Amino acid sequence: IMVNCNPETVSTDYDTSDRLYFEPLTLEDVLNVIAAEQPMAVVVSLGGQTPLKLAGLLPEELVAGTNPRSIDLAEDRELWNSLCAKLEIPQPPGGTAADLEQARAVVAVVGYPVLVRPSYVLGGRAMEIVYDDSQLERAMSQLSGFGSLGIEGGLSAERPVLVDRFLEDATEVDVDAIRDAVGDIVIGAVMEHVEEAGVHSGDSACVIPPPYLPDEVVATIEEHTRRIAEALDVRGLINVQYAVKGDEVYVIEANPRASRTVPFVAKATGVPLAKVASRVMLGATLVDLRTEGLLVDRVVGDHVAIKEAVMPFNRFPEADPVLGPEMRSTGEVMGIDLTPGLAFYKSQISAGSDLPESGTVFFSLADRDKRAGLEAARGFTDLGLSIVATSGTAAHLRDNGLPVAGVVAKLGEDGTDAVELIRSGAIQMVVNSPRGRGPRADGEHIRAAASAGGIPLLTTAAAALAAARGLADWRHFPLEVRTLQAYHRGITRDPEVSVP
């Protein structure tokens, strides 16, 4: 029996369940279905954050898998902090705040920039990266009226805002795992994000296996995941998110439920995670499932899989297409091949953003992105593309020995600005990374023009670097289309063919 509040999500799979209810996912409606159907168990961990919030309100004996108390342990900020301290797993420093003064007190300890977000949020809603006092004041004012917080009278000790130090230039990592009732754990995959920490995980491209994380960092992440799943007494799926800065691994959050990455992991590794987790939630052990052949080992091969987000900005030209902590994507695709570059290039084609093989790339980078942006620009130049840039970015590129074909004027200044160049067809790709989420008139106009013109737009230096590597691999290797089943049998790269 499935209860679904969105008919569109099951329009192509209407026969997945024996019975299908289109009802709001509220306590009253779910209890009405339970009363009518008298189910043996209720699965709350395969439908995202909304059903997870209902877990503690449903009859405890009906909740399949992870106990509602364990779910609350992961969701409640104070309990979660205590658990991480007990396990000696580092977290980004931070605290909770019920008003602006408390938020300022947290910032006085941890320093700017900080990530400000309401607790128990879905899809990163109302999250913001804050760089100074004025942005903090605005963010706290907006959060007071956000969603249910506003309806329930604003912020309070029971409905606080989470204020955490934002780790700039850190690499974000996702892990999906399954734990059974006897404590056995299987790690589905460790996924390295293409975009740096601060871009919502639903909007960031991520890679299996992680191409740039050292083996010892991956081992630390897997060990932390096992210990967290054990401490939470997880029965089924768990998703844990980390930020890696240097060799230090920080845990951001754990969700004892299926993540949106589970289907991607299953396709990339050949392991049916959702089916395995469903059986585990109903009492089967991982040993049982291995014996009957449902739980198989991850495929051994050289293939790389990349999940990329599909953005709706072509339908909403007035929306600023910059990526940040609030989720914007409306779908996902996967690119798969034998190098990270080829897999990334395929993922861009699938997402409707075909990268140019010739022409001119416009660069406008925030100061913190100029180091990675320099490497990306060098990659595009080596491939024969021309670079134009705003004055500050152009000076940085030239100081480091890169040719810049032209300096682009800012809006309102004398000379041709980026919007004019984009509209005239002189630019084939835009790389524009803003700082924070405050007012940035130039950047918003540039990104809007690129979106309206259907020109590939990259809003992080990390994505630009991935694009340059993708184009390099695209030229170096022939395009091959293979079935998913072929990858699951294991494909190895020809050792005679070098990877650039």
d(CA 95, CA 88): 17
Expressed in percent and rounded to 5, the helix, strand and coil fractions of the chain are: 40, 20, 40
How do residues 136-159 score in pLDDT, each as one tens digit? 998 888 887 654 434 334 455 567
pLDDT, position 336: 95
Mean pLDDT (the chain, rounded): 87
Mean pLDDT within 102-130: 79
Structural domains present in the chain: 2-64 (3.40.50.20), 93-165 (3.30.1490.20), 171-302 (3.30.470.20), 323-476 (3.40.50.1380)
How do residues 182-221 score in pLDDT, each as one tens digit? 999 999 999 999 877 777 778 888 999 999 899 999 999 9
For residue 222, is it left (φ>0), alpha (ψ between -120 and 50) or beta? alpha
pLDDT, position 37: 96
Mean pLDDT within 456-482: 89
Mean pLDDT within 77-84: 88
pLDDT, position 125: 57
> Residue 238: exposed, middle, or buried by beta-carbon count in 10 A (0-12, 13-18, 19+)?
buried
Q: pLDDT tier at 294 (50, 70, 90 boundaries)?
A: very high
pLDDT, position 438: 43
How do residues 381-410 score in pLDDT, each as one tens digit? 999 999 999 999 999 999 999 999 999 988
Please list the residues that pair with 407 across neighbouring strands. 389
Question: C-alpha angle 446/447/450, rounded to 5°?
Answer: 90
Q: Which of 42-56, 60-74, 276-290, 312-326 has the lowest mean pLDDT?
A: 312-326
> With 70 as the cut, is the pLDDT of residue 304 above it?
yes
pLDDT, position 425: 92
How do residues 404-418 score in pLDDT, each as one tens digit? 999 998 877 777 888
* Between 445 and 436, the higher pLDDT residue: 445
- Report the percentage of the chain scoring pLDDT > 90: 50
Mean pLDDT within 46-75: 87
> With 50 as the cut, is the pLDDT of residue 468 above it?
yes
